[in-house]
């Protein structure tokens, strides 16, 4: 008998991929869906419960009640404002322990993992359940980076790695040696939209996305997918370099198909040595 799995489902299509893979694998799956975050379509056919993000106590009770043994957190959640969080007592305790000063998301995610492990659950990474979600090393598209793109990738890796050490952000856009934009809390979509306006006349440009060293890989990994490819193309970029084995790819076949149609490359690269 496989251990019962609870999926804490954030936004976007990744939770559906994890749920599907776990069920195909013969697992008994329960989904904890978050109000205003989880896509209702993905829980239709699966035992599930809806909770506000801040209802930590009720979430833990629910996980115990359904007999979950393994837990996986998958899909991003919007970092909520305090007033939207609707904290229950356990949530308030957790937040009080964390303090209001959060340096990036990493401490928060670590605290949630600790909380779950303290209750006896085993916390898995999405990639423990669906191996093919992780970006491999090397080029996965028909197009490949040329010398100019490789130089931009090298600079982007250097900048992203330094930013990551400071828990600032994961993504950087570089065009012909010029760092056009750096991501902090705004997210990759807004970074790419801004860089579409900031880019120089000349062709070229890459998006580089790395895992931060302190990032809790079971709660939160950098992610790309078909939409990232489209946004990169709209920003005039030649391609995307992601942290091999440390970055999730959502809807990989659609993403590669989209990239091939648009002539963009996607390449998995090692982080900074």
Considering the complex, what minimum distance in angstroms separates the CB of residue 182 from its own copies? 4
The answer to whether the beta carbons of residues 220 and 251 sit under 8 Å apart is no
Q: How far is the CB of 167 from its own copies (least distance, A)?
A: 8
Of 167, 212, 208, give the one whose Cα is nearest residue 191.
208
Nearer to its own copies, 124 or 192 (CB): 192
| Under rule CB under 8 A, residue 75 binds its own copies | no
Q: How far is the CB of 165 from its own copies (least distance, A)?
A: 8
Q: How far apart are CA 268 and CA 247, in angstroms?
A: 9
- Which residue's entry shows tokens 């085993």? 122
Tally Cβ neighbours within 10 Å of residue 189.
12
Contact flag: residue 239 with its own copies (CB under 8 A): no
Phi, psi angle pair for 247, to nearest 5° = -145, 135
Yes or no: say if 236 and 199 are a contact pair by the CB < 8 Å rule: yes
* Nearer residue to its own copies within complex by CB, 202 or 253: 202
CA distance 244 to 135: 5
Q: How many residues bind its own copies (CB under 8 A)?
A: 38
Residue (of 4, 75, 15) closest to 43 by Cα position: 15
Q: Is 147 in the site for its own copies (CB under 8 A)?
A: no
According to the binding rule CB under 8 A, does residue 200 interact with its own copies? yes
Site for its own copies in 78-137 (CB under 8 A): 79, 81-83, 100-104
Applying CB under 8 A, among 183, 216, 220, 251 the residue interacting with its own copies is 183
> Cβ contacts of residue 234 below 8 Å, gap of 6+?
192, 193, 196
Question: Considering beta carbons, is residue 136 or 236 the nearer one to its own copies?
Answer: 236
Residue 251: CB atoms within 10 Å: 18
Write the interaction track for its own copies spanning residues 6-45; mark x where CB under 8 A is met and - where it is not: ----------------------------------------
Q: Which residues of this protein are in contact with its own copies, per CB under 8 A?
A: 79, 81-83, 100-104, 151, 155, 158-159, 162-163, 165-169, 173, 176-186, 190, 194, 198, 200-202
């Amino acid at each position: 008998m496989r251990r019962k799995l609870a999926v804490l489902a954030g936004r976007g299509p990744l939770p559906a991929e994890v749920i599907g893979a776990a069920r195909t694998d013969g697992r008994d799956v329960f989904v904890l869906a978050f109000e205003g975050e989880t896509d209702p379509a993905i829980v239709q056919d699966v035992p599930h419960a809806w909770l506000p993000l801040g209802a930590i106590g009720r979430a833990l009770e629910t996980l115990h009640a359904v007999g979950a043994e393994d837990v996986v957190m998958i899909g991003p959640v919007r970092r909520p404002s305090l007033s939207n969080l609707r904290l229950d007592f356990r949530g308030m305790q957790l937040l009080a322990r964390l303090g209001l000063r959060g340096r990036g998301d990493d401490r928060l995610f670590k605290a949630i993992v600790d909380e779950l492990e303290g209750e006896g659950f085993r916390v898995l990474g999405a990639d423990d359940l669906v191996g093919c979600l992780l970006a491999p090393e090397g080029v996965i598209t028909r197009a490949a980076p040329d010398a100019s793109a490789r130089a931009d990738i090298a600079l982007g890796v250097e900048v992203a790695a330094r930013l990551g050490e400071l828990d600032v952000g994961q993504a950087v856009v570089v065009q012909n040696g010029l760092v056009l934009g750096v991501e902090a809390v705004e997210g990759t979509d807004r970074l790419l939209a801004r860089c579409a306006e900031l880019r120089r006349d000349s062709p070229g440009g890459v998006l580089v996305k790395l895992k931060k060293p302190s990032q809790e890989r079971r709660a939160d990994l950098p992610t790309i997918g078909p939409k990232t490819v489209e946004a990169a193309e709209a920003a005039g970029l030649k391609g995307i370099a992601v942290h091999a084995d440390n970055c999730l790819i959502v809807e990989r076949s659609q993403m590669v198909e989209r990239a091939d149609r648009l002539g963009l490359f996607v390449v998995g690269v090692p982080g900074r040595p």
